[in-house]
Amino acid sequence: MKIATTEQMMVEISWTAVLEAPLPPPVPDPAGLEADPPSAPGPAVSATREHIRRKNSASLAEPGASLGVPGVGADDGEPTYSAYMVECTEEMIRSMKKEVATGRVEFEIGEYMSRLTAEIISRTEFGTGYEKGKQIFHLLTVLQQLCAQATRQLCLPGSRFLPSKYNREIKSLKMEVERLLMEIIQSRTDCVEIGRSSSYGNDLLGMLLDEMQKKRGGNGFSLNLQLIMDECKTFFFAGHETSALLLTWTIMLLASSPSWQEKVRAEVREVCKGGSPSVYDLSKLSVLNMVIKESLRLYPPASVLPRMAFEDIKLGDLHIPKGLAIWIPVLAIHHNEEIWGKDVNEFNPNRFSAQSFTQGRHFMPFATGPRDCVGRSFALMEANIILSMLISKFSFTISDSYRHAPITVLTIKPKHGVQVCLRPLEE
């Protein structure tokens, strides 16, 4: 294994080394672990050409109807992604206001962000409510923890082939997750086949099923049910936990920086005029976007990016043989003083007000190159909508009980949660 640290290595790995690589041969998997476990985004370790095909299909759920672009996909009366986000956030705000009215002041904001993003991803990607999807979320959370524990054994040669406790539990949980997902998929396909519905739905799952049907029997790439389930698991994870963590860390930073909190609030009030944000408003929230980028720099969703050399490559004077695993240390790059300056460990959104090209190449919260995250647009829109609505309704201050202790378990999490004090603002 090699750790990519230099700019040249990072850029070549991200843009060149993997792009033209052939698909790797299948790997024996007695423990039931796939190349893309549901504890990590699928594109992270998948073969490049496969990823590009999957990315093209998954991106169907982003630019048009799903993201809330007026005039696209709205004629059938189905809510857009942005409408779902606004609706779910409004419900959470009402709930929080009721709790404040009873005298509650302190909130562990991570719990609320986790429930909110779970509700949003359930509705937007799979058309189900939180009660239907929470079984899958619970299983995936446990599965992520087990996968993180299992990776500690990978330093022992051949350990992943052993029927260990972790491997058995992982396999059992994977089967249960796939069973629940298959029930949702089967329900969609049955409705179309018996004529109860004319489409598979206007969400990610519906679009993936529609793509599979269109290309079935043709010469093009055809999605299969297993691939669809893999994509569903990827979006459950990426659209739930990583989004919740982005929101949690950003609220912590704003609660710790009253001046920036007021700047964002003033901008939101000016742009949104007291209402909920529209898709047209989001591009105008420049201060909020700077804050989100700085939050992603300090606490990126993934601390490292794994890559695999599918053919012999040369990075500068370094020869990388086929099959060697390469890790790009995102967290270390995001905290490199030579790149970001002496205030690298401080919260300073101004560094993104006039972003330099050098910083841009080293800013990779969603990866970079042809294998970047397919959910980038979704995540950023979600963060902008939720944060703009919350900051217009509440002021945040850090609770005395908060203890800053980030830990890395595949993602960067607050070990003891993030406790903030909320105060409703006058309408």
Residue 313 host element (H or E): strand 313-315
- CB proximity list for 317: less than 8 A, separation 6 or greater: none
CA distance linking residue 169 with residue 143, whole number of Å: 8
* Residue where the block lists tokens 């962000």: 113
Reference 137, options 115, 154, 159, 166; nearest CA is 115
**Is 373 a known ligand-binding residue?**
yes
Whole-angstrom CA distances from 385 to 91, 148, 275, 378, 398 are 14, 31, 11, 11, 22
Compute the Cα dihedral for 351, 353, 354, 360 and give only its sign.
Answer: positive
Q: Is 394 left (phi over 0), alpha (psi -120 to 50) or beta?
A: beta
* Three-state DSSP state, 307: strand
- At 88, give phi and psi (nearest 5°): -65, -40
CA distance linking residue 68 with residue 3, whole number of Å: 40
* Contact status, residue 421 vs residue 96, Cβ threshold 8 Å: no
* Three-state DSSP state, 112: helix
* Contact status, residue 417 vs residue 111, Cβ threshold 8 Å: yes
Beta strand 325-328 pairing with 2-3 = parallel
CA distance linking residue 89 with residue 382, whole number of Å: 10
Q: Is 406 left (phi over 0), alpha (psi -120 to 50) or beta?
A: beta
* Contact status, residue 239 vs residue 346, Cβ threshold 8 Å: no
CA distance linking residue 358 with residue 206, whole number of Å: 40
* Residue where the block lists tokens 């998929």: 185
Beta strand 406-409 pairing with 318-320 = unpaired
Q: Report CA 346 to chain centroid distance, whole Å.
A: 24
DSSP state of 25: P
Report the binding-site residues: 373
Report the binding-site residues for heme: 373
